[in-house]
Each structure stands twice: as structure tokens, then as C-alpha cells.
Structure 1
Amino acid sequence: MGTDDTMGKAKDPLIAVVQWVKTRPAGTKAGLSGLSAVVLLLVLWRTIKDHDTLFVLAEIAHFLGIGVLGYKLQKKKSVAGLSLQSQLLTATFLAVRLFCSFMMEYDIHTVLDGLTLLATLGVVLNMTLTDMRATYQKEQDIVKFYYVLAPCAVLALVAKPSTSHYYLFRVFWAFCVYLEAVSVLPQLRMMQKAKVVERFTAHYVFALGLSRFLSCAHWILQILEGNKYLLQALGSGLWPVMVLASEVVQTCILADFCYYYVKSYAEGSGVVRLPAGIV
């Protein structure tokens, strides 16, 4: 295997731990994963005082993930392994969220969303308008973006914020929340069909998983600290519950992939190999 596909050799103790985990029953693996998540949450709880920082870190992780894709495009001149459908969904929810940010609020999140949108559009243009489009594996990218868009649009009409903003803005905001939660599904389905994921694509999807975990951690830590406004909001209607549910769904969708990513990294493999049932 070439050096370009080598993630780096892990230390022996880490490999030993991974090998031990691999031999455990499925229930034990699930318990260890849950325990690891709880420990990480506790670490974040004790080290990060302003939990809004987690949102900023989540958006930075997403932007860095897109940066890894940009590096891949420049280095390999190939978009093999990337889902155009997921990139279109990502660009859509970022564009809608950016519009809502300008209309409803403006802060550091708006800037980060703008940068991430520009980077995502760059990936889309490379996949559709440059010579790299010849390397796009269209036959494996089978989950069309409109199959994901439509349910999110319907759900946005049902559960949306009850703020004083215009009705359309509130629907758009709900739409981008739901769409973000499932935008990675075409990419995961494509990787499942391929069963082997090269390292740059793997880094990108892992960055998405890290981003979603940090965002979900923000809400969970707020609840653990007894944030009275958040607790009141969760009991006041469907929208706050759906926001929290969307964060949890995003994290769970990517959790399996992140496990196999860490496992492959620890084993010194240059690719991530996925079992058939990951999505």
C-alpha cells in the first residue's frame, strides 16, 4: 500500500486496546461506546465553561473537514468516493441557514457558515464543471438529494420556532435544522456500497461526526447544568424537542462510522473498511 494511503502507525497499547474491543460481544461494545461518550461529555463539562463555545468548535470542525476535501481535490485531482448528493444537501442547508442568520441574527456563526458554504460550493463545482467530474462515481451515489429534501420541508411546516419572526423565516430555519441532521446519509450510503473509504474522505466524514458530537454536547450539558430556560422550552412545545432530537439523530447516524474510523486508524490502515449494516 502506498504511503499516501497510510494513516500512520499507532502505538502498540492502542492497537492492543482495539484488538481487545474487537473480541467483545456486541452488547459490551455498545456499552463501552456509551461509556466513552459519557466520559468525553464529562471532560467537556469540566473544561469548557461557556458551552456556546461548543457550537463554534462544531462549525470549525465542519469547515476543517471541507478543507480536507479541498486538499484531496488539489492533491489527487479526483472526487472518487465523494457523494455529490450530500454536497448539494450540505450547500442547501448552509445557504438557507446563512439567509436566516442575516434575517434573524448575525454573529460568529454567520461568518463560519459563510466560509463553509463557499468551500462546499467549491467542491460541488469541481464535481460538476471540471475534469474531475469524470472520477465521480455516480452509480454508487444512489440516494438522490430530493428524497431527503422533501421530508425535511414537510416536517418544517409541522414543527418550527414560535418566535416573533416572519412565518417564512421560521419555516426556513426549521428546514435547515432537519436537513443538516440527515444531509450526510447519501455519503454514508455511498461508502457502504463501496465498503472501503480512502483516507481523505474518511477524514472529512469523521470531522462531520466530531462536529455533530460537539453540537449535541452543547445541548446535553445545558440540560445537565439545569438550564431553567432550556428545560422550560423543552416542555413548551414540539419545536425545542425536535431541535434536540435532530442533534441526537445526527450524532447517532455518524457514530458507527466514527468507531470504524478510529479502529482503522489504530490498526494503521490507510482506509476505513465498513461492514454492510453501518447505514
Structure 2
Amino acid sequence: MRPPKRPIQVVTTWVRRQPPKVKAFLAVVAGMTALVLLRFIVHDHDNLFVAAEAVHSIGISVLIYKLMKEKTCAGLSLKTQELTAMFLAVRLYCSFVMEYDIHTVLDLATLATTLWVIYTIRFKLKSSYMEDKDNFALYYVAAPCAVLALLIHPSTSHNLLNRILWAFCVYLEAVSVLPQLRVMQNTKIVEPFTAHYVFALGVARFLSCAHWVLQVLDTRGHLLVALGYGLWPSMVLISEIVQTFILADFCYYYVKSVFGGQLVLRLPSGVV
């Protein structure tokens, strides 16, 4: 006699059998439900952005633990780390010249640890780096982000170059995880520490997106006016939503794997 299935297994099996449109609808409903809960649980929605940066730092810490304990960087994308360092460095510069606050400190700490990860992959653990799997060309994301930043950027009173750089780091952050997803797509098997790191990125992206959406709702749209005029305010929200949905599929399989008691995450074809 077979043991009864856990409720989470029943739900995931049902969701897996649904057509793509139904899955997309369920994802939207789940996201909106989470936003409603956060709106009532977290009173100061600025804390969500701080939490997003803190979760990102935790994800980097997981990587450092993996590199130090297992002495291997297999499954990690060096290019994602380089894109992360790039947008963090630009955002740190913008933060220094435009708004020095707690975010500046968190970005500085995250950038320092990201640079350490890059150094470790490039030099100390180079023999285990899967360069053939990490084959996503950086100019596919960096060049479009630069062009988009030149065309659509804040209309505030700051220096034009600073406004363009601000837009560039927003756009680049939204797509910086794509090389890591390509590595996982190529390998199909994701070991635990890498999975924890990518899941932390997904949580951080969602919290950041929730921060902006709830801030717009709280100010009844006045925040969009404060960001400037034209397409820029909308692009900020679109960038946050895009980076959340990029990782949504992976996070679903991660949660399913964790509840199923699997240590190694195996991704079906077509995921990420």
C-alpha cells in the first residue's frame, strides 16, 4: 500500500500538469497574494528594499561558504558575478554622489564579497570553473542596457552622466542573473549551494519589486512623479518585475525540491 502523498506534492503535481497560461495566471495570483500580505505585515515598506539587499548579501555568503568548504566553483557563472560587480560598482558610485544612506553601506559590503568571489573563481579555483558551460556573451546584456540607459533615464536635477549611469545599473541588475541561468540550463543539475544562492537572488528580486510596487500604491502614484517624467518611472517598475519573473520558474522548482527532500536540484528541459 502506497503511503499518502503530502499536500505539497499533490499541489505541485496538479500545477505541473496545467498548461503554461494557467501556470502564468497562478504565478501572478501567488505574487499578488504575497504583496498583500507584505503590505499588512511590513509597516515601513522602505525596509523591504533593505531586506532585499540583505538577502542578496546572504546569497553571496552562501557562495563564499561553498568556495571555502568544497574548494570548487563548478556550476557557478563567473559572468554573472562580473555583471553583479559591474552594476554594484555603478550603483555605489551613484549612491555616493546622489544619496548616501544605508543602501550605500550594504552595496559596498556586497561588492567587496562579489569581487572576492570573482578573484577566487578566476585564480584560486580556476581548474574547476566550467568555462564551456558559462557561454553567455556579456555584450548581449551590457550593450542593450547601455543603449537603453542613453535613451531612457531619470529626468531629475542631477548631472546627465550620473542619471545615465543610474539607469544603466537598474537595467543591468534586472538581467545580470541570465548567465547563471544559462549555466544551469546547460548542466541540468544544480548542486545545493548554487541552488541556495540563486534562490536567495530570487527572494531578493521579489522583495525589491514588492518595495517599489507598494511604495507606488502607498503614495497613490506620486512616487512615479518624484522619479521624473517620461518613460523612466515605468521602466523602473518594469525592470523590477522582469528580474522577478526571470527567476520565478527556478524558485518554483527549488521549493518543490526542498519540500520533496531532494538535496540536488534537477531541472526539466526548458526551465530557465
Counterparts of residues 125-140 of structure 1 (less than 5 Å):
125-130=119-124, 132-140=125-133
Q: Deviations over 1:186-212 (max 9, x none)?
A: 000111111111111011011111011
Letter in 2 for 1:85: K
Further displaced range: 13-22 or 152-161: 13-22
The equivalent of 2:152 in structure 1 is 159
Q: Is the CA contact 2:155–2:228 (under 8 Å) kept in the aligned structure 1?
A: no
Corresponding position of 2:117: 123
Aligned equivalents of 1:129 and 1:141: distance in 2? 16
Partner of 2:69: 75
For residue 256 of structure 1, the aligned residue among 249, 257, 264 is 249
Q: Distance in 2 between matches of 1:74 and 1:34?
A: 38
In structure 2, how many angstroms separate the alpha carbons of the residues matched to 1:45 and 1:148? 33
In structure 1, distance between residues paired with 2:22 and 2:259? 19
Amino acid across the alignment from 2:72: S
- Alpha-carbon separation, structure 2, partners of 1:226 and 1:108: 22
Equivalent AA in structure 1 for residue 189 of structure 2: V
2:77–2:183 CA contact under 8 A, matched in 1: yes
- Cα distance in 2 between the residues matched to 1:101 and 1:77: 35
Asked if the contact 1:192/1:275 (under 8 Å) is kept, the reply is no
Alignment pair present for 1:236 and 2:229:
yes
Residue in structure 2 matching 1:219, options 212, 224, 228: 212
Report the CA distance shift for 1:188/1:160 in structure 2 as closer, same or farther (over 3 A): same
Unaligned regions of 5+ residues in structure 2, if any? Answer: none
Alignment match, 1:84: 78
1:107-159 superposed Cα distances (whole Å, 9 cap, x missing partner): 000000001001101110000111x1100000000112233211111111101
Matches within 5 A, 1:18-33: 18-33=12-27
**Contact 1:148 1:182 (8 Å CA) reproduced:** yes
- 1:81-120, aligned counterparts within 5 Å? 81-120=75-114
- Normalised by the size of structure 2, how large is the TM-score? 0.93
1:40 to 34, 39, 58: 34
Aligned mates of 2:137, 2:74 — CA distance in 1: 17
Which residue is 1:7 aligned to? none
Secondary structure of the 2:100 match is coil
Shift of 1:230: 2.1
1:149/1:46 CA distance change after superposition, 3 Å: same
Q: Aligned equivalents of 2:176 and 2:223: distance in 1?
A: 26
Contact kept? 2:77, 2:180, Cα under 8 Å: yes
> What is the deviation of 1:27?
3.7
Shift of 1:262: 0.8
CA contact (8 A) 1:234 1:241 kept: no
Q: In 1, Cα distance between the equivalents of 2:60 and 2:37?
A: 27
Identity of aligned residues (%): 60
Over aligned residues, Cα RMSD in angstroms?
1.7
Given residue 124 of structure 1, which amino acid in structure 2 is its aligned partner? I
For 1:158 and 1:27, the matched residues in 2 are separated by 33
Instruction: Give secondary structure in 1 for the equivalent of 2:265.
Output: strand
**SS at 1:139 equivalent:** coil
CA contact (8 A) 1:45 1:221 kept: yes
- Deviating 4+ runs (over 4 angstroms): none
CA distance in structure 2 between the aligned counterparts of 1:234 and 1:100, rounded to whole angstroms? 15
Q: Is the 8 A contact 2:87 2:172 kept in 1?
A: yes
1:49: how far off?
1.2
Task: Find the counterpart in structure 2 of residue 142 from structure 1.
Answer: 135
1-structure distance, mates of 2:217, 2:98: 28
CA displacement at 1:30 relative to structure 2: 2.9
Query: How far does the alpha carbon of each residue in 1:84-119 deviate from its partner, in whole angstroms, 9 at most, with x for none?
Result: 110000000001110111111100000000010011
Superposed displacement of residue 235, structure 1: 8.6
Does residue 56 of the first structure (1) align with residue 46 of the second (2)? no
- Would you say the 8 A contact 2:224–2:233 is kept in 1? no
Query: Greater relative contact order: 1 or 2 (C-alpha under 8 angstroms, separation 6 or more)?
Result: 1
> CA contact under 8 A between 2:155 and 2:229: conserved in structure 1?
no
